[in-house]
Copies of this chain bind each other. A is one copy, B any other.
Amino acid sequence: MCEKMIIAIQGERGSYSEQAATELLGFEVEVSCCEYFEEVFERTANKNTTHCLIPIENSLSGSIHKNYDLLLRHNLKITREINLPVQHSLVVAPGVKFEEIKVVISHPVALDQCEKFFEKNPQLTKQSAYDTSGSVKRIMEEGLKSSAAIAGERAAEHHEAEILMAGIQDNPENFTRFFLLASKLEMGENRNKTSIVFSFKNTPGALFKCLSVFALRDIDLYKIESRPIPGRAWEYLFYMDFLGNPEEEAPRNALRHLSELTEFLEVLGSYPRDAKLEKKRI
């Protein structure tokens, strides 16, 4: 019998993370809401949930570096990716008019992505919160009349709030990429993309040589991200995504070749590429 899936997410129900979970796994999926990303990872590592869904990168604000660090600290495997279009709305308690609003509450990244809206409306004060959907929850629970939230449509629906303005973000091309992580290895089909992390020996041209193991085998790369190694000032870990699966010949050879050049190398998971929004090769 199939184990029931429970997905830990950061933020409240109605958040973009919940939206990504249902798009990936269907409307019946059960989510477990956490305030912090540490908690999201821990619940899954401790088997309190079967999976967790974490944002890893936004097409405007860049990588969620904290989650790269947490990926390394916990032994969880990436089993799926999804690119979610992000559309921010101005959400209020039913009946509240735009003229009444003085404060706008949301996650700091969402506030940053609506900079032009705030420039046009200098009377509004920004206030940071830990989650977009959580801001909607707050204006509803506290019955705030002079506050609005910035959140997705789904958050407004979930909390029975009203959308006053839709699409208030600066840039319509706004996508967040999420990873579904599992506490145990899952061998699904079409696992044609792989994420790894490595650090290399201190030799000249080290990064060039590490990239060569892919280039010499015509393996496409999609992403590279560097993070500091704590306690070893100015040394870096590199996270990389490539096309292929370590069970195929060329990627397997590339990883063996890479292991000759690295001090540390770990496969974070192989998963089906989300082709809805094709990432450019690098």
Contacts and interface: CB of A to CB of B under 8 A. Distances in A.
Interface residues of A, number: 47
B280 A228 contact: no
Interface in A19-50: none
17 contacts: A62-B226, A62-B227, A173-B233, A200-B282, A202-B280, A203-B281, A204-B215, A204-B220, A205-B218, A207-B224, A208-B208, A208-B211, A208-B214, A209-B215, A224-B226, A234-B278, A234-B280
Given A175-B233, A208-B215, A236-B282, A228 B277 contact: no
A84 to B, nearest CB: 12
A225 interface: yes
A155 to B, nearest CB: 22
Contacts of A60: 228, 230
A277 B175 contact: no
Given A65-B62, A228-B60, A207 B175 contact: no
Interface in A152-197: 171, 173, 175, 177
Residue among A62, A205, A214, A282 with the highest chain B CB neighbour number at 10 A: A282
Count of chain copies = 2
A59 interface: yes
Interface in A49-94: 57-62, 65
Interface string A212-249: 10110010111111111011111110000000000000
A211 B207 contact: yes
A43 to B, nearest CB: 19
B221 A207 contact: yes
A254 B275 CA distance: 36
A228 B109 CA distance: 14
